[in-house]
A and B are shown apart, each in its own frame.
Chain A
């Protein structure tokens, strides 16, 4: 059963702690993406990776870090430097730039 998974669905952390969000896909996609969505807003691109061991900053990369050691996995770390980390985080993957993106179910992060 192919797809893209994110875990956990809900995540709670205290301010000042780093937290890592998981994203896994078994669609054999080369490209993977992380977006952030705030209530009532559209999606904003945090980081994207078009190939293993390579990634680029999106529009709001400050306070976030990623790695792409395996084709299937693209974890996102929300660091304590991110000033407003509470948000809905969405991971996506695609075969490449001109192909549709498949989204995971999202992780809702709450930092207090």
Chain B
């Protein structure tokens, strides 16, 4: 089962770009990389998913190097409402036993 490692927490300021790197050294060929956001006392919400290179949507960008052993979630110009826990997951194409891990607590300060 692929395991992910990400920083426990990071602080930022409004308007800055936040980059969260996740390590997944044992990622399998058919695994996708997915990021979720969770606010306190709510269920996580999907942010972005990718397999290789770069994926961008209206919320974030996901950078995946060629070896796919890590990935970086980039949140452009964060606001106070981006304060949340961000989880990096490596999907299993078969079995779907997702492991959320502890996530990264991002605190955006004014």
Which of A13-21, A73-81, A93-101 participates in binding chain B? A93-101
Q: Report how far A56 CA is from B98 CA in the complex, Å.
A: 13
Min CB–CB distance A110 → chain B (angstroms): 14
B95 touches A97 (CB 8 A): yes
A42 touches B87 (CB 8 A): yes
Q: Report how far A97 CA is from B34 CA in the complex, Å.
A: 12
Q: Report how far A56 CA is from B32 CA in the complex, Å.
A: 21
Q: Number of contacting residues on B, CB 8 A?
A: 24
Min CB–CB distance A6 → chain B (angstroms): 8
A90 touches B97 (CB 8 A): no
Give the nearest-CB partner of A58 in chain B: B97
Interchain CB contact (< 8 A) of A103 among B43, B93, B95, B96: B43
Q: Report how far A41 CA is from B99 CA in the complex, Å.
A: 12
Report A-chain residues with C-beta under 8 Å of the C-beta of B96.
31, 48, 50, 96-97
Interchain CB contact (< 8 A) of B43 among A44, A50, A96, A104: A104
Chain B binding surface, main DSSP class: loop
B41 touches A108 (CB 8 A): yes
B97 touches A100 (CB 8 A): no
Q: Number of contacting residues on A, CB 8 A?
A: 27
Asked if B59 is at the interface (CB within 8 A of a chain A CB), the reply is: no
Can you spell out 17 A-B residue pairs with CB atoms less than 8 angstroms apart? A42-B100, A42-B101, A45-B97, A45-B99, A48-B97, A56-B95, A90-B43, A90-B44, A92-B43, A97-B91, A97-B94, A97-B96, A98-B32, A100-B46, A103-B45, A106-B42, A108-B41
Known: A43-B87, A106-B43. 9 other contacts (CB 8 A): A42-B102, A58-B97, A88-B41, A97-B91, A97-B95, A101-B36, A101-B44, A105-B42, A105-B43
Please list the 6 inter-chain residue pairs (A to B) with the smallest Cβ-Cβ separation, ordered nearest first.
Answer: A103-B43, A97-B96, A100-B46, A43-B100, A42-B100, A42-B102
Residue ranges of A at the interface with B (Cβ–Cβ < 8 Å): 31, 33, 35, 41-45, 48, 50, 56, 58-59, 88, 90, 92, 96-98, 100-106, 108
Residue ranges of B at the interface with A (Cβ–Cβ < 8 Å): 32, 34, 36, 41-46, 49, 87, 91-103
